[in-house]
Structure 1
Amino acid sequence: MLTMKDIIREGHPTLRKVSEKIERPLSEEIISLGQEMIQFLQNSQTPELEEKYDLRPGVGLAAPQLNILKRIIAVHIPSIEEDGEPELSAVMINPKIISHSVKQSCLGDGEGCLSVDREVPGYVPRASKVTISYIDLKGNDQKIRLRDYPAIVVQHEIDHLNGVMFYDRINEDHPFEVDEDTIILG
């Protein structure tokens, strides 16, 4: 079971490297890694397990954060409704943004990261809508359209695969300044 001790923190050189594409057929090792990653996110969102294992709640995790330079991410975004199905729960292998909106959005509270143990104030502008292609854990090709919060989460995780940290996207001189067309999600 993955815990916070498995997650490397900012400053670790792996977080600045580009991850390797995963070849098919998917190895048992890759499938197992994907399952462990999604399980970590689910555990981190369960109050009893979060406390028991000292987890920080997370909605996304990328393999480089586990010091593994492979193109695999996990995303688990809970439902807005209590006891509802998750808004998005997926392991994405070789995820790729195949199209995106010109319109941008950002989170009003800024972004956080399991690999960053500090608050980093500022808006992180990202495409409001994205279409992602990826391989699922069964080895099947998938394509998904996302908007708003799920789109932001997946873009954040894909950035990790390319050695990019969320705060690289914050305007250094004016952290809370964005284009007037940018939607600030509340």
Structure 2
Amino acid sequence: MITMENIIREGHPTLRKVAEEVPFPASDHDKDTLSKMLEYVKNSQDPEISKKYGLRPGIGLAAPQINVAKRMIAIYAQDEKGVQHSYALFNPKIVSHSVEKSYLTSGEGCLSVDRAVPGIVPRYARIRVKATNIEGEKIDIRLKGVLAIVFQHEIDHLNGVMFYDHINSENPFQEPDNAIAIDR
């Protein structure tokens, strides 16, 4: 089981590395790690389990956050309609994106960042992602809204990018032109 002790914090060098591709077929060790990452995200959203184990709630986790420099992400999040989505993916890649931007009005947070970082994090409003799921099947998904933002946040981790790198340092609350504001 992954706990908060397994999650590295900002300043750790692994968070700034570009993670390596996972070779296929994925090893049992990599599948187990990815499965535990998804389990953490699910457990962190359960009030009883998160309290019992001291888990900070999260909706996504990237392998570099547990000091594993491999291209793996786990996401367990609801879209704007309240539909639950669950992903455990190897080698996710954004293959196309909209010109239009979006952002969370509440800003973004991160399990590896123990402080509030105020500001608007501009993201693409719509993205298309190709990846391989934990069963070894190739997937091709189109995402928008909150899910598109979560995927971009986690894929950034695989490239050594932190969410606050996107915040305009001169004007942190400057809204991107014609962007969709998403309340969360």
Structure 1 residue 85: deviation in Å?
5.3
Q: Alignment RMSD, CA only?
A: 1.2
1:174 maps onto 2:138 in alignment: no
TM-score, with structure 1 as normaliser: 0.95
- Cα distance between partner residues in 2 of 1:110 and 1:141: 32
- Say how many residue pairs are matched: 183
Structure 1 residue 62: deviation in Å?
0.2
Moved over 2 A (4+): 78-81
Whether the 8 Å CA contact 2:18–2:160 is kept in 1: the answer is yes
Identity of aligned residues (%): 51
Q: Which amino acid aligns with 1:43?
A: N
Aligned to 2:59: 59
Any unmatched runs of 5+ in structure 2? none
Aligned to 1:50: 50
- Cα distance between partner residues in 2 of 1:146 and 1:67: 27
Whether the 8 Å CA contact 2:38–2:88 is kept in 1: the answer is yes
1:109 maps onto 2:106 in alignment: yes
Q: Aligned with 1:95: secondary structure? A: strand
Q: Which amino acid aligns with 2:141?
A: I
- Cα distance between partner residues in 2 of 1:44 and 1:24: 29
After TM superposition, the structure 1 = structure 2 runs for residues 5-20 of structure 1, keeping only pairs within 5 Å, are 5-20=5-20
Q: Which amino acid aligns with 1:161?
A: L
CA offsets 1:147-175 (integer angstroms, 9 cap, x no match): 01000000000000000000000000100
- Cα distance between partner residues in 2 of 1:182 and 1:122: 15
- Cα distance between partner residues in 2 of 1:185 and 1:140: 31
Aligned to 2:33: 33
Q: 1:91 aligns with which of 88, 91, 99?
A: 88
Whether the 8 Å CA contact 2:80–2:145 is kept in 1: the answer is no
Q: 2:146 aligns with which of 146, 149, 159?
A: 149
Structure 1 residue 179: deviation in Å?
2.5
Label 1:79 to 1:169 Cα distance change in 2 as closer, same or farther (>3 A): closer
